[in-house]
Amino acid sequence: MAKLVKMEYINDINVYKCELTDEMLALWNEDQDAFWDKYGEEIEEMWEFSHDKVGDPNEEYYLEEE
């Protein structure tokens, strides 16, 4: 007998935040590429975990023969 198997993939999403100085914010609003060039390494050390959530699930089906 054949069984239909459903596999569901759910993405866990971790959300991080960091505070920007007025100077950082101004550059972000002006030119995001320049922002990352100037502050990218600094920002990487500033991230603080905020929360996690579940993203949109993807579904996949296949047949399993017994």
DSSP per-residue string spanning 4-56: EEEEEE--EEEEEE----HHHHHHHHH-HHHHHHHHHHHHHTT-EEEEEEE--
Q: What is the residue extent of each domain of the chain?
A: 2-65
Read off the pLDDT band of 65 (50, 70, 90): low
pLDDT per residue as tens digits for the range 14-64: 888 888 889 998 998 899 899 999 999 998 899 898 888 787 756 555 666
Q: Residue written as tokens 């017994």? A: 66
Q: Residue written as tokens 């609003």? A: 29
